[in-house]
């Protein structure tokens, strides 16, 4: 597992820079679970830093050369941490081994069959679904998810079985550090324009990743997604499974919503099968189809897959029902891409017909908001929500371009030309105050975004959901 230490010294102490990130925190939790001494640093306190401390990780807020402990023999850094970060500079001076987030994952997963779940949307939910299916099948997988899973009490599951299931991030081409046995592609859209030139550049990164598959590996892909198919059509692999309405291996026949459940009919490798989901949205139907494809590639019986999917309750900040404020149901969601916003709102309408919906949306990152501005305006103007509060854009430390000028105020102005109830909130405090003033008129309040807006949703709850 730790090959680079075999000829030198034993791995005993790990330091993680950017440890508060939901992805890279997996490294800290993993090494700590193995009994190693783990320290870390980040710019801000968060739900994750609290959980890390509870797990015995020493977390420091702020970056300094003093944060790197004596006798540290591995430093792991997130993609947002530049080489001139003082802790990385210190590690270089002291000749401490340094690995990026996904280089560290590859080292951890060495000797196991890596199943990498990638795509613009749906990675976390699909990874969790797949982890539960493999767990139920007795395969005892190790799973690294980019969200929190209540049944695993965190974002990792450590197993002794042969499979390592990981949510793999395309940002900065991080997934190219992996050596996958299987790959699942949920969809490919324009995103992460701080590390990609355009959609073609993104597609080429996925093509390079798929090219890493061994001859006996497998690929599961969204047959209904145009860009994904551009990648797939360049690949020759024996074990390939497409899912969706055009999917030949996992063919979606139809789906409907009845009594807050999705009822899905499919044809799995030529055999008609049915299953239900208790989570909302057509995107989750596709996430389930992706999980079916990967589990089928591992020869897991459909009956077991079906039972697992029907019991799946979702994960942290993915249409997570938190509870009530008065009569209004509070939902926390991670959606931050226009297509994710659309499918989540559509799912809410299906699961809660006739209910009045207030959307509280915090865009994530300046570059994304600027590049996809027209798409956001289009989606938010579709009247899927009855009222909208647009919170100022969450700026991602280490990934922003100061030359980009855009504000949620601009979005609010553009959307207000189509919808009457659109408000701008410059701060989280202002957003919370506006929500509380509007809440009596709404049945459903969806707090959405990949930044820190989820903390507002948590503060609103007066009675937790059972």
Q: Does pLDDT of 6 surpass 50?
A: no
Percent of the chain with pLDDT strictly greater than 70: 98
Q: Give the residue, 3 or 112, on which the prediction is more confident.
A: 112
What 3-state DSSP class applies to 329?
strand
Q: How far is CA 323 from the centre of its chain?
A: 22
pLDDT digits (tens, 9 = 90+) for 224-254: 999 999 999 989 899 999 999 999 999 999 9
Q: Where does the pLDDT of residue 8 fall: very low under 50, low under 70, confident under 90, or very high at 90 and above? A: very low
pLDDT for residue 401: 78
- The CA–CA distances, whole Å, from 317 to 111, 334, 418, 449 equal 32, 5, 28, 9
Neighbours of 89 (CB within 10 A): 14
Largest CA distance in the chain: 67
pLDDT for residue 259: 86
Burial of 4 (0-12, 13-18, 19+ CB in 10 A): exposed
What's the mean pLDDT when you consider all of the chain? 94
- The end-to-end CA distance of the chain, in Å, is 41
pLDDT digits (tens, 9 = 90+) for 160-190: 999 999 999 999 999 999 999 999 999 999 8
Q: How far apart are CA 134 and CA 149, in angstroms?
A: 15
Binding residues: 119-125
Average pLDDT over residues 209-238: 96
Q: Give the residue, 7 or 142, on which the prediction is more confident.
A: 142
What 3-state DSSP class applies to 222?
strand
Q: How far apart are CA 250 and CA 254, in angstroms?
A: 12
Q: How far apart are CA 362 and CA 389, in angstroms?
A: 9
Compute the CA torsion angle 157, 278, 256, 442 (nearest 10 deg). Answer: -120
- The CA–CA distances, whole Å, from 304 to 128, 162, 300, 307, 339 equal 15, 19, 7, 5, 31
What is the secondary structure of 16-73 as a DSSP string?
Answer: EETTTSTTTHHHHHHHHHTT-EEEEEESS--HHHHHHHHTT-EEEES--GGGS-TT--
Percent of the chain with pLDDT strictly greater than 90: 91
Six-digit token string for 185: 């592609």
pLDDT for residue 26: 98
pLDDT for residue 210: 97
CB 102 within 8 A of CB 178: yes
Q: Where does the pLDDT of residue 397 fall: very low under 50, low under 70, confident under 90, or very high at 90 and above? A: confident
CB 112 within 8 A of CB 163: yes
Q: How far apart are CA 94 and CA 179, in angstroms?
A: 29
How do 261-268 and 271-277 pair as beta strands?
A: antiparallel
Task: List the domains of the chain with CATH numbers.
Answer: 9-100 (3.40.50.720), 109-311 (3.40.1190.10), 320-464 (3.90.190.20)
Q: Does pLDDT of 9 surpass 80?
A: no
Q: Does pLDDT of 1 surpass 90?
A: no
Q: Where does the pLDDT of residue 466 fall: very low under 50, low under 70, confident under 90, or very high at 90 and above? A: low
Q: How far apart are CA 192 and CA 365, in angstroms?
A: 9
Binding residues for ATP: 119-125
């Amino acid at each position: 597992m730790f090959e680079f230490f075999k000829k030198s010294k034993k791995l005993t102490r790990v330091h993680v820079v950017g440890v508060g990130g939901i992805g890279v925190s997996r490294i800290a939790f993993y090494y700590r679970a193995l009994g190693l001494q783990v320290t870390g640093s980040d710019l801000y306190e968060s739900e994750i830093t609290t959980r890390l401390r509870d797990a015995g990780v020493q977390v420091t807020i702020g970056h300094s050369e003093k944060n790197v402990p004596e006798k540290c023999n591995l430093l792991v850094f997130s993609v947002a941490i530049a080489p001139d970060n003082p802790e990385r500079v210190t590690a270089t001076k002291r000749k401490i081994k340094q690995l990026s987030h996904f280089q560290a994952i590859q080292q951890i997963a060495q000797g196991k069959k890596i199943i990498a779940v990638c795509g613009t949307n749906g990675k976390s939910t699909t990874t969790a679904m797949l982890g539960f299916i493999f767990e139920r099948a007795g395969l005892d997988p190790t799973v690294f998810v980019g969200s929190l899973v209540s049944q695993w009490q965190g974002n990792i599951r450590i197993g002794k079985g042969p499979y390592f299931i990981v949510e793999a991030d395309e940002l900065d081409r991080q997934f190219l550090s992996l050596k996958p046995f299987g790959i699942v592609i949920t969809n490919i859209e324009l995103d992460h324009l701080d590390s990609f030139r355009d959609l073609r550049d993104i597609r080429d990164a996925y093509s390079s990743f798929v090219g890493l598959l061994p001859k006996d590996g497998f690929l599961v892909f969204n047959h209904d997604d145009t860009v994904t198919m551009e990648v797939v059509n360049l690949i020759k692999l024996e074990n390939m499974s497409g899912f969706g309405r055009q999917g030949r291996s996992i063919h979606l026949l139809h789906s409907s919503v009845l009594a807050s459940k999705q009822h899905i009919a499919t044809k799995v490798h030529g055999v008609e099968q049915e299953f239900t989901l208790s989570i909302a949205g057509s995107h989750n139907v596709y996430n389930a189809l992706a999980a079916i494809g990967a589990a089928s590639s591992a020869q897991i019986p459909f009956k077991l897959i079906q039972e697992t999917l029907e019991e799946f309750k979702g994960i942290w900040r993915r249409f997570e029902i938190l509870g009530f404020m008065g009569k209004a149901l509070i939902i926390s969601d991670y959606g931050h891409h226009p297509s994710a916003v659309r499918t989540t709102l559509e799912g809410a309408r299906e699961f809660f017909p006739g209910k009045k919906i207030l959307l509280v949306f915090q865009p994530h990152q300046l570059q994304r908001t600027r590049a996809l501005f027209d798409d956001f305006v289009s989606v938010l103007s579709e009247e899927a929500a009855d009222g909208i509060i647009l919170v100022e854009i969450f700026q991602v430390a280490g990934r922003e371009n100061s030359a980009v000028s855009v504000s949620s105020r601009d979005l609010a102005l553009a959307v207000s030309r189509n919808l009457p109830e659109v408000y701008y909130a410059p701060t989280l405090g202002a957003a919370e105050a506006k929500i509380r003033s509007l809440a009596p008129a709404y049945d459903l309040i969806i707090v959405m975004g990949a930044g820190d807006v989820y903390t507002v949703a948590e503060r609103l709850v007066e009675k937790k959901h059972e």
